[in-house]
Amino acid sequence: MDATDVRKRFAGVQPLFIDGKGVPASEGKALEIINPADGSALAQVAAAGGEDIDRAVRAARRAFGDPAWRKMSAAKRGQLLWAIADRLDKRTEEIGIIESLNNGKTLREGRGDVPPSSDIFRYYAGFTTKLHGETIPVDGNYLCYTLREPVGVCGLIVPWNYPLLIACWKIAPALAAGNTVVLKPSEYTPLTALVLAEICKQVGVPDGVVNVVPGYGDPAGEALARHPDVDKISFTGSIRTARRLLHASADTNLKKLTLELGGKSPLVILDDGDVDAAVKSCFWGIFANKGEVCSQSSRVIAHRKVKDQFVEKLAEKARP
């Protein structure tokens, strides 16, 4: 598979994935998906608006109460998650190429994102049968017990740096706990999210449990954040957007929030450290995945005794 094959694979405007099927965007708008390595057009994907988000949330809410999902045994949910992992592994080459062309990361990194994505589903496949509450003794001849229950409809918003991997980080635990999801991938990198939705359908995940709605932060992300029938938002991205999500939650139904935001992670080199090892760690810590990593080592704090040696070696390694 190459860029030509990917263009054929995604020929025409790719639909949104709502309630188990592909549907066009209600306003007929589309995202132009670009290969950032050369600026060429790769595909077109339907751009979700507020009405589409509402359709997806309503589908997720219906599926959450549907016995096909709500009454499904924990063991069966685990089998579905394991089956998703198997499908990801079987399609590693295809998915790796799509990720590389859509995101601009190297083919090695694109392929490399698939095994940890399938590992996530296998981890949570084992977790489905281990969501235990607690039994608590209280005064008198009584026991109190806690019961862990799914939160409901989860809105998942993921960025462009690890499109598949971060989507799996969010979808796998949500499904393991019995929730339903509406995933909004980045408007720049939605292709592998649509492949993942296809895989969920193929292995038998009930319709409406997983919905994928590519679109811009405004209106799609905004509509998801403010929808009164969304119980939780999980977001990876900027602090500025996180502030808007906090406001949206406060202004509507006080939905639960999980926010993973960019850091300013330091690499600390002491005077007795291995300078060569530090140079290698720093190099990959800032340049891996094109430097698009939330936890990249974007600051270096080096002891004065090794600073000059470290800077010289790092500059040499980074020189073309």
- pLDDT of the residue at 291: 85
**pLDDT band with cut points at 50, 70 and 90 for residue 77:** very high
Answer yes or no: is pLDDT of 108 > 90: yes
Average per-residue pLDDT in the chain? 95
> Percent of the chain having pLDDT more than 70?
100
* C-alpha–C-alpha distance, residues 188 and 130, integer Å: 37
**What is the pLDDT at residue 114?**
98
pLDDT at 2: 78
Give the chain's domains with CATH numbers.
3-261 (3.40.605.10), 266-318 (no CATH)
For residue 290, what pLDDT band results from cuts at 50, 70 and 90? Answer: confident
pLDDT tops 80 at residue 78: yes
Are 51 and 27 in contact by the 8 Å Cβ rule? The answer is: yes
Query: Taking a C-beta distance cutoff of 8 angstroms, is the pair 155, 173 a contact?
Result: no
| Residue in this structure with the two tokens 């602090």, named with its chain if needed | 239
pLDDT the model gives residue 293: 86
**Cβ within 8 Å of residue 222, ≥6 positions away:** 50, 244, 248
Least confident of 12-16, 42-46, 92-96, 287-291: 287-291
List, for residues 135-169, the tens digit of each pLDDT value. 999 999 999 999 999 999 999 999 999 999 999 99
In this prediction, residue 265 has a pLDDT band, given cuts at 50, 70 and 90, of confident
| pLDDT on residue 110 | 95
What residues are labeled active site?
260, 294
pLDDT of residue 191: 97
| Statement: residue 5 has pLDDT above 90 | no
Kindly tell me the burial class for residue 277, based on how many C-beta atoms sit within 10 Å of its own C-beta (0-12, 13-18, 19 or more): exposed
Sorted by sequence, the CB contacts under 8 Å of residue 103 that are 6+ apart come out as 36, 110, 160, 161, 163, 188, 189
Average pLDDT rounded to a whole number, residues 236-263: 94
In this model, does residue 22 exceed pLDDT 90?
yes
Is the predicted pLDDT of residue 263 greater than 80, yes or no? no
- 300, 282 in Cβ contact below 8 A? yes
**Under 8 Å between Cβ of 248 and 232:** no
- Is residue 221 over pLDDT 90? yes
- At 50 the pLDDT is 97
Number of other residues whose CB lies within 10 A of the CB of residue 316? 9
pLDDT for the residue numbered 1: 75
320 pLDDT higher than 90:
no
- Which sign, positive or negative, has the C-alpha torsion 170, 183, 91, 296? negative
